[in-house]
Amino acid sequence: MRKSYALPVFFALLLLCGAVPAMDRYGKQCRRYAGPVTGINDPRLPRLLVDTPLDVYHAWKKLGVHGRTILLVTDRWKKLSTSELFPEIPMYRRYPLSLYRIPSVMEENYLTSDNYLYVAALNGITRRVVALLPAQGYAEMTHAAHSAKNSRIEPDSVYLTHQGFPRWFTTGGYLRHEHEPVLLYVEAAYFLEEEPEHLYRMLLDAGIRTDSLILCRGKGDIRITPREIGRLERFATLAGFAAGARSSLDRSPEVSRSPGGNQ
Amino acid sequence: MRAHVPPSRFFIIATVAVSCWALLLRCFLLPSQPITTDDFSVGLTAINYMESGNLGPVMWNHPDLCNILVYGTLKCFGSGVWGLKIWSVLFGTLSVTFVALLGRRLLVNEAAALLAATLWSLDSLSIDLSRQAVHEVYQSFFPLAAIWLALNFRHTSRFRWLVAGGLLFGAGLACKWSALFPCVATVGLLLLDIRRSDDGVGGRLTRCAAITASLLIIPAVVYLLTFAPWFGRGYSLSEWFDLQKSMYRETKLHTGYTPVVNRDHSAHAWFIYPVAWQDLNLNVAETGTDASAMTVEKNVTVLLAVSNPLVWLLVLPGLIAVIRVGFRDRNREMLFLAVLFASAYLPLVLTFSRPIFMNTALTVMPYGVMMVGYLVVTLTSATSQRKTALFAYLFTVLLLSVPLYLLAIGKGNESPLLQRYLVGRFVNNSQKVLP
C-alpha cells in the first residue's frame, strides 16, 4: 500500500477501533452504585421505607447514584403534559439572556410526586426505567404504544421512549431479561391489585439484583387504604426489613462506580 | 478530470468582497432583533446537553454538535447575541464563500460562481436562519466545505484534503443527518475516478480504501464522539443504537410544534412558485406585562423568509442546462453538481411521512444557486450586451431582495406596505399566538 494512502486508512481505523469501545466503556463507567449489589433477600442490602415519592427522590440523591436503571413497581404510569416538562420560556427576553440549568430548576422549584421520575432522569439519577405494572396498568401502556411514534410491543413487554429516554413496561415477563443491577422501588399502589407474596416470588425468580430497595407508603394518595399498607408491610417483612426500622440508608451512603460495590 | 487552474486575482478579491457583504447582511441590526423562543431554547438545550447529557428541549431528535459549539461560545462570550448566534452568522457567511469556491470548481466558470455566491448572500432564507441561533444554516456550510476539500484531494491526491473533508462531513452529520447524501455522492464521484485511473489493481484498491476510510469512517467517528455528554449519563453503545432509532422515528414523523395549516410544507413546490418560512414570536418590552394589553402590532414579530422568484424559479431550468451540458461535453463536474442537487432534494420530495418545511431547503439551495448562476451567465453571454444583461438581472434581484430582507430580519411591521402583506397573510396566525 502506498504510504500516502495507507495513512488515512490507518488513521481512520485507529479512530474507529479506539472511539467505539472507549465510548461504551466511558458510558458504563459513569454509572454510580450505592454499594454492594445483591439479591433482594440479602441482609446487606440498604433498605428504606418512606412516605412519599419525594422521599424516594431525595433518598436516591443521598445515595449518590447516577446513570442507573430504576425498576419501578407501581399500578399506573403517570403521564406528564408537555407544559410540565420544563419551565415556560419567558416572553420578556433581552440580552444577556438569563439561561439556567433545567435539571436544577426543576428539582428546586417544580419537583412533585408526579414528576419525580422525570426530574430523576434530568438529574442523571436514572437513564432508563423498567416499570412493573399489574395487568390493567400494562394494558393502558400497550394501548398508548399503538399511537406512539417510537414504540415496540413484545410478548412480555412494551418499549416506549420519551425524547429518546428508554422506558420498558411489563407485568413481569421482561424481568428475566434484566441483567443489570437496578434501583428497586416499590409503591404501595401496586398492591391495589396484586399480592406481596406474588411480587416477592417474581423478583426472586427473575434474579433481580440491586443495591437499594425502597418501599413507599404513598401518603397523600387517596386510593391507598390500610389494606395496601398492610400488604406493603408484608412485602417489607418478606424482603428482610427489620420491624420498625427506618432503614440502613440513614447512614451516609458510600458511592461506588462498579456494580461490585465497595464490598 | 479537468486540470486544476488557480483562481484569478479578480475571483479571489470578489469572493472576499461577497463574503464581507454577506457578513454585513447577516449582522446588520442583529443585536436589536427580537429574540425568539427558539433562540432562548437553543441556549437552554446547549446547557442541558453539555452539563447533564440531556437531549432537548429543542430538537432532541437531531445530533448535538450545535449544542457543543453554542455551549462553548456561551462560556466564552456570555449569553449575549454573539455567545448565542456567532456560529450561525459565521457558517451562514462562510456558506457564501464556499458557494463561490465550490461553484468555481464544478462550473469551471468564475463569473457563474461569483453570481451564485452573490445570489446566496442575498437569499432570504439563508439570511433569516443565519440570524437565528438554531443550527439550520450549519447544513449549508459543512457539506459545501467538505465537498470542496474532497475535490482538492481529487486534484492533488494529497490525503490531508480527504481527511479534512471527512472531518467536516462528520461535523455536518453531527448537526443533521442530511449531510449523508452529499457525502455519499462525493464518495461515488471519487470512486468513479478510480475506475478511470491508470493505477494497477493494488493502487486502485488502496485509493478506494483511503477514500472510504476518510469519507465514511472518519465522519462516523466524529458523529459518535459528539454524543460523549450523553454517554456520560451512563449509556452503553447498544443503547446508543436504540437512541439513533428513536431519533430516526421522530425525524421521520416530525410535524413541527405549530399547526401545519397555512404553512408551506411541500418540497416539490419550492421551485414552482414562491414559498415562505415563518417564525412568529411574542416578545414583551418589560417583565410582568399584562397579557390582555398585548397586540399583534406591538408584541408579535414575524421573521419571514420568502423565496426570491427570480432565483428559485430558475433552479429547474438551471438543472436542465447543467445536465444538458454535462452530458454533451462529458463534463463530470457538471453532472456531479446535478447529482449533488438531486441527492439533497429528491429525498425531501419523496418524503410522504411528514411535512417538509422550507427551512430544509438550506441543504438544497446552495447547489440550486450554482445552477442558476451558470444558467444566467450562459444565457446572458449569448446576447450582444452581455454585461448589461447580466447586471440588469442582478439589479432586479437586488431590488426585489430589499423588501424580502426587511421581512427576513423582522422589520416587516415597520413598513406600511409590508405590514399590510404580513397582516393579510399572517394576522390570523398572529392573533392565535397571543395569550
| B237-259 pLDDT, tens digit each | 999 999 999 999 999 988 776 66
**The one-letter amino acid at B65:** L
Residue A250 confidence class, pLDDT cut points 50, 70, 90: very low
Q: How buried is residue B42: exposed, middle or buried, by Cβ count under 10 Å (0-12/13-18/19+)?
A: buried
Give me the mean pLDDT over the A106-116 stretch.
96
* Phi, psi (rounded to 5 degrees) for B37: -65, -35
Residues of B in contact with A110 (CB under 8 A): none
A21 and A44 part of one domain: no
**The one-letter amino acid at A125:** I
User: CB-CB: which of B37, B213, B214 is closest to A89?
Assistant: B37
* Phi, psi (rounded to 5 degrees) for A71: -100, 105
> Is residue A109 a part of any domain in this protein?
yes
> Is residue B114 a part of any domain in this protein?
yes
> Is residue A165 a part of any domain in this protein?
yes
> Is residue B1 a part of any domain in this protein?
no
A159 and A43 part of one domain: yes
Q: Is there a contact between B243 and A164 if contact means CB atoms under 8 Å apart?
A: yes
A46 and A173 part of one domain: yes
> Is residue B397 a part of any domain in this protein?
yes
User: CB-CB: which of A86, A103, A150 is closest to B246?
Assistant: A150
Give me the mean pLDDT over the B383-403 stretch.
92
Q: What is the pLDDT of residues A36-64, one digit of tens each?
A: 999 998 988 989 999 999 999 999 999 99
Nearest-by-CA chain A residue for B160: A8
A151 and A211 part of one domain: yes
Q: List Cα–Cα distances, B309 to A23, B276, B315, in angstroms.
A: 48, 11, 10
Report the pLDDT value the prediction gives residue A4, as an integer from 0 to 100: 67
> Is residue A205 a part of any domain in this protein?
yes
**Residue A243 distance to chain B (closest CA, Å):** 36
Residue-range definition of the domain harbouring residue A25: 1-30
> Is residue A156 a part of any domain in this protein?
yes
> Is residue B4 a part of any domain in this protein?
no
A13 and A63 part of one domain: no
Q: Which long-range contacts (CB under 8 A, 24 or more apart) does B285-294 make?
A: B285/A92, B286/A92, B287/A90, B287/A92, B289/A91, B289/A92, B291/B434, B291/B435, B294/B434, B294/B435
Report the pLDDT value the prediction gives residue A123, as an integer from 0 to 100: 98
Give the count of domains, chain A.
Answer: 2
Q: Is there a contact between B217 and A13 if contact means CB atoms under 8 Å apart?
A: yes
Instruction: With beta carbons less than 8 A apart as the criterion, state whether A194 and A234 touch.
Output: no
Query: What are the start-end ranges of the H helices in chain A?
Result: 3-29, 53-63, 102-109, 116-122, 135-146, 196-206, 226-238
Inform me whether the pLDDT recorded for B354 exceeds 80. yes
Q: How buried is residue B192: exposed, middle or buried, by Cβ count under 10 Å (0-12/13-18/19+)?
A: exposed
Residue A3 confidence class, pLDDT cut points 50, 70, 90: low
Q: Which residue out of B236, B281, B354 would a mutagenesis test of the A interface target, given it has the greatest number of A Cβ atoms within 10 Å?
A: B236
Residue-range definition of the domain harbouring residue B74: 9-433
A12 and A64 part of one domain: no
> Is residue B3 a part of any domain in this protein?
no
> Is residue B346 a part of any domain in this protein?
yes
Cα–Cα distance between B41 and B134 in angstroms, integer?
A: 9
> Is residue A256 a part of any domain in this protein?
no
Instruction: With beta carbons less than 8 A apart as the criterion, state whether A235 and A200 touch.
Output: yes
Mean pLDDT of all residues belonging to chain A: 90
CB of A4 less than 8 A from some CB of B: yes
- The dihedral over CA atoms of B297, B303, B306, B307, expressed in degrees to the nearest 10, equals 170
Q: Is there a contact between A16 and B217 if contact means CB atoms under 8 Å apart?
A: yes
Q: Is there a contact between A93 and B40 if contact means CB atoms under 8 Å apart?
A: yes
Nearest-by-CA chain A residue for B248: A150
Size of interface A-B (CB pairs under 8 A): 183
DSSP assignment of B73-140: HHHHH-SSHHHHHHHHHHHHHHHHHHHHHHHHHHH--HHHHHHHHHHHHH-HHHHHHHTSSSGGGHHH
> Is residue B419 a part of any domain in this protein?
yes
CB < 8 Å from B in window 90-109 of A: 90-103
Q: Give the distance between the most distant pair of CA atoms in chain B.
A: 77
Residue A244 confidence class, pLDDT cut points 50, 70, 90: low
Give the count of domains, chain B.
Answer: 1
Cα–Cα distance between B316 and B326 in angstroms, integer?
A: 15
Cα–Cα distance between A145 and B405 in angstroms, integer?
A: 45
> Is residue B2 a part of any domain in this protein?
no
> Is residue A24 a part of any domain in this protein?
yes
Q: How buried is residue A226: exposed, middle or buried, by Cβ count under 10 Å (0-12/13-18/19+)?
A: exposed
Q: What is the pLDDT of residues B70-119, one digit of tens each?
A: 999 999 999 999 999 999 999 999 999 999 999 999 999 999 999 999 99
Bridge-based pairing of strands A47-50 and A209-216 is parallel
- The dihedral over CA atoms of A169, A174, A176, A179, expressed in degrees to the nearest 10, equals -50
Residues of B in contact with A26 (CB under 8 A): 228, 231-232
Inform me whether the pLDDT recorded for A85 exceeds 70. yes
Q: What is the CA radius of gyration of chain A?
A: 21
Instruction: With beta carbons less than 8 A apart as the criterion, state whether A66 and A124 touch.
Output: yes
**The one-letter amino acid at B85:** K
Q: Which residue out of B36, B39, B54 would a mutagenesis test of the A interface target, given it has the greatest number of A Cβ atoms within 10 Å?
A: B54
Q: Which helix (H) or strand (E) holds B324?
A: helix B315-328
A26 and A89 part of one domain: no
Instruction: With beta carbons less than 8 A apart as the criterion, state whether B367 and B337 touch.
Output: yes
Cα–Cα distance between B58 and B134 in angstroms, integer?
A: 9
Residue A81 confidence class, pLDDT cut points 50, 70, 90: confident
Residues of A in contact with B246 (CB under 8 A): 150, 161, 164
User: CB-CB: which of A2, A99, A149 is closest to B249?
Assistant: A149
Question: Residue B415 is placed in which grid cell?
Answer: 413598513
Specify the pTM.
0.93
Inform me whether the pLDDT recorded for B350 exceeds 90. yes
Report the pLDDT value the prediction gives residue A253, as an integer from 0 to 100: 43
A41 and A14 part of one domain: no
Q: How buried is residue B222: exposed, middle or buried, by Cβ count under 10 Å (0-12/13-18/19+)?
A: buried
CB of A243 less than 8 A from some CB of B: no
Give me the mean pLDDT over the B37-45 stretch.
96
> Is residue A143 a part of any domain in this protein?
yes
> Is residue A259 a part of any domain in this protein?
no
Cα–Cα distance between B12 and B29 in angstroms, integer?
A: 28
Task: Choose among A242, A215, A181: nearest CA to A34.
Answer: A181
